[in-house]
Structure 1
Amino acid sequence: MAAATVSHQHLRDFIAGVYRAAGVPEAQAGIVAGLMAQADLIGADGHGVFRLPQYVRRIRAGGMNATAVPRIVQERPGAALVDGDNGLGHLATRLAAETAIAKARTQGVAWCGVRNGNHAGPASLYARMVQEAGMIGLYLAVGSANHLPPWGGLELLLSTNPIAVAVPAGEEPPVVLDMATTVAAYGKVKVKAQRGEAMPEGWMIDREGRPLTDPARANEGLLLPIGGYKGYGLALIFGLLAGTLNGAAMGRDVVDFNADDTTVTNTGQAVLAIDIAAFGDPAAFRAQVDALARDIRGSARLPGVDRIWLPGEQSRLTRLRREAEGVPIPPALRAQLDALAAELGAALLPG
């Protein structure tokens, strides 16, 4: 059965209504709903409304604080540490991004970390916040479950630990890189499992080193890092910066929020904002980004290649299409969302 579509507005209103029914204050419910619906708009299907049943389950089980108020607990002119109060991760990370932007306007560069947070959706959401303020944005996070062993090992001590970087342009779209340090984010594995689809070879291996393509057996396997040992190194460093530096969980302390609804995760994130004006003329910089983007897109292609893409272009096209046509909701996910809304007494998702 094909996935039915729902408008962005209806999706956002539905998410907000479910959160309110689960005890999240109205203002916070609206903020998080907007960010989650935005994730679906850009095609990050494993990080938008797909996560709603899981988030609500953790709230109701006591693993996440529905009425959390994130706050800055330590700061300097160009740095800050946000405590998420064990609430919805989007709230703490949004505060970190807003704080980094404000500080970078006077300091040129600002770094804000998060501790005691939770899963906060796709990395690009927060790098884009900084980019939309006219700055270069960078986001790092410790993933919310360990699925990656050290290079050559079997013990799951690292996560997908993603990075996103968003660079403003002028007439061209911004350049937005959003990637896990594993070949595939675990959210994509979960989406494959829900849809009954096989994973491509190269995403996971079993404990004998053989390819694992059945997402229903993902808990038996190991995610593979990008670039072999280099991806392992990046996952480690990003975790130290987004987790250990902030007093957040890393290594053995990371809680698998897919399997544990009651334990506080203490998830860590970090947002860096770079004010382009601290380094030169922002208009000149954006013009140079435009020129480079056009050079890359217009460069010679290998046989059979129709187009050279820049990071973020495909997500942008997905957003434009879904704004016009709606966000697809697969039947299995729709059934989960209908059941969740009915259980909470919230309005059903239209369509």
Structure 2
Amino acid sequence: MTDPSPTPIVQFDALRAFISRALVRVDLPPSDAEVVAQLMAQADLQGSDGHGVIRLPQYVKRIRAGGINTRPNIRVVQERAAMATVDGDNAMGHLVVSRAVDLAIVKAREAGVAWVGTRHSNHAGPASLYARMPVAHNMIGLYFAVGNANHLPAWGGMDMLLSTNPIAAAIPAGVEPEIVLDMATTVAAYGKVKAKAKRGEMMPEGWMIDRQGKPLLDPKRSEEGFLLPIGGYKGYGLALIVGLLAGTLQGAAMGKDVVDFNKDSVTPTNTGQAILVINLEAFGEVSVFKSAVDTLVQDIRASERLPGVDRVWLPGEQSHARRQAYGEHGIPVANALVTELEALAKDLGIEPMKLA
């Protein structure tokens, strides 16, 4: 059943500060802890609650077990004018991917486009965080990643050899918010399953099935089945391609080599991600492109709606609205998660998260 208690609220800065305190306590350098905390809190700010502070206890457990390197040497190991491979040295994924995006932006300024992939990385939160980073530089961001646990079999199979393998794209606009698509190649990301379990909610039919092919609705029984791909066999094919691009191409884990970080806190995951950045200036006048995007957005929003439909949404608009609302009024956090974070704070000997 859903928790009937009032939902606690936390302000962004209080959430970020708490995450940073926790990570510093488990030996991340303060500057690295701040980068990770900022990105984790941004995940919650935009409503990606399956990838924000809910992951903190798991990260702490993994760091304590030696499964994450807190003093990494993140470095470029392969490079040409419009590409690079970044070896994360088993660092927190947020640090590795941020470094990759920064490098891709620099390269795209000169080459027009740039592909930077990672290996020996870790879970880095929602894909849209990184796809959106190039937008501030008048660039398009396309992000790909191998998920950190396999929850998807090949179409018609039962061996879970693929993950949710997300893809995200961020397209700059003018007066309109950027268009941001962030999607798993499964109907639901596994983080959403974890968030449902934390809130005491059931999953809708169509997210998961059990090993007899019947709908699986209880997120606490997720181990008894697997996620379903978007669009049937087409989603399976997309998950495979994204994994090859984000993982295999960079020498990162894919298929049976993917480590389930939900169960294994010690083994390095060798997670792979990739960012493709496209510099709008290389293709023409930036303002002309942005104006065309604005026009298309406005045409779509004003298009005739089906009966009962109040609004046609563009990809990323709801996250944009949440960032504004949560930034002003605070971020909702499930009661069960607050309890877990309070226990974590006590265990670490740090000040607990300050609620609004």
TM range (shorter): over 0.9
Q: For residues 267-325 of structure 1, what are the alpha-carbon distances to aligned partners after superposition, in whole Å with 9 as ceiling and x for unaligned?
A: 00000100011111111000000000000000011010000000000000001000001
Equivalent of 1:206, from 199, 204, 210?
A: 210
Q: RMSD of the TM alignment (CA)?
A: 0.6
How much does 1:69 deviate?
3.3
Q: 1-side partners of 2:141 and 2:6: how far apart? A: 37
- Contact 1:2/1:330 (<8 A) preserved: no
Equivalent of 1:17, from 9, 16, 21?
A: 21
Match runs of 1:85-164 below 5 Å = 85-164=89-168
- Contact 2:202/2:217 (<8 A) preserved: yes
Secondary structure, counterpart of 1:157 in structure 2: strand
Q: For residues 171-217 of structure 1, what are the alpha-carbon distances to aligned partners after superposition, in whole Å with 9 as ceiling and x for unaligned?
A: 11100000000000000001111111110000000011100001111
Which AA in structure 1 matches 2:98?
Answer: R
Q: 2-side partners of 1:58 and 1:7: how far apart? A: 26
Secondary structure, counterpart of 1:117 in structure 2: coil
- Contact 2:181/2:315 (<8 A) preserved: yes
Moved over 6 A (4+): none
Q: 1-side partners of 2:231 and 2:274: how far apart? A: 23
In structure 2, the residue matched to 1:307 is 311
Which AA in structure 2 matches 1:123?
Answer: A
How much does 1:344 deviate?
1.1
Give unmatched runs, 5+ long, in structure 2: none
Q: Does 1:74 align with 2:78?
A: yes
Secondary structure, counterpart of 2:117 in structure 1: strand
In structure 1, the residue matched to 2:291 is 287
Q: Does 1:35 align with 2:39?
A: yes
- Contact 1:183/1:203 (<8 A) preserved: yes
Q: 2-side partners of 1:67 and 1:348: how far apart? A: 25
- Contact 2:83/2:116 (<8 A) preserved: yes
- Contact 1:242/1:269 (<8 A) preserved: yes
Q: 1-side partners of 2:125 and 2:321: how far apart? A: 20
Q: 2-side partners of 1:251 and 1:132: how far apart? A: 35
How much does 1:14 deviate?
0.6
Q: 1-side partners of 2:293 and 2:335: how far apart? A: 41
Give unmatched runs, 5+ long, in structure 1: none
Q: 1-side partners of 2:137 and 2:39: how far apart? A: 17
In structure 2, the residue matched to 1:84 is 88
Normalised to the residue count of structure 1, the TM-score between the two structures is 0.99
Q: 2-side partners of 1:70 and 1:32: how far apart? A: 15
In structure 2, the residue matched to 1:257 is 261
Give the direction of change, closer, same or farther, for the CA distance of 1:112–1:286 in structure 2 (3 Å limit): same
Which AA in structure 2 matches 1:342?
Answer: K
- Contact 2:198/2:334 (<8 A) preserved: no
In structure 1, the residue matched to 2:219 is 215
Q: 2-side partners of 1:2 and 1:256: how far apart? A: 34
Equivalent of 2:185, from 171, 181, 195?
A: 181
Q: 2-side partners of 1:165 and 1:281: how far apart? A: 21
Name which of structure 1's ranges 2-11 and 157-166 shifts more when overlaid on structure 2.
2-11
In structure 1, the residue matched to 2:243 is 239
Normalised to the residue count of structure 2, the TM-score between the two structures is 0.98
Q: 2-side partners of 1:335 and 1:69: how far apart? A: 35
Secondary structure, counterpart of 1:65 in structure 2: coil
